[in-house]
Amino acid sequence: MSGSRRKEPVAGVTAAASEKQWKREANRKLRKAAAQVLQQLPSSDPDALVLPVLKDVANPYDSPKEGKYRFDPREDPRRMRK
């Protein structure tokens, strides 16, 4: 059985062990904001529906992940493993 390989030589830059908790909190905020918009929507005008997006309720720059960077797979081919 062969190991999984990356298709692109791009890796995440992070000092955090996981981004899971931040994603959970951000998506909870998004669902809450969407529910509030749906409750305030008048039933006579469904075309006025404008749901929030994730960037409206949570700043992605506040997440523990600091971004991504490219690397040369010829220098260290082990980094192409997932």
Q: What is the pLDDT of residue 67?
A: 81
pLDDT in tens, the chain (82 residues): 577 888 999 888 888 888 899 999 999 999 999 999 888 877 767 677 888 999 999 988 888 888 888 999 999 888 888 7
Please report the sign of the dihedral spanned by the C-alpha atoms of residue 25, residue 27, residue 31, residue 34: positive
C-alpha 57/C-alpha 30 separation (Å) is 6
Q: What is the CA radius of gyration of the chain?
A: 20
Q: What is the pLDDT of residue 38?
A: 87
Residue position matching structure tokens 């904001």: 33
Q: What is the pLDDT of residue 1?
A: 58
C-alpha 4/C-alpha 33 separation (Å) is 38
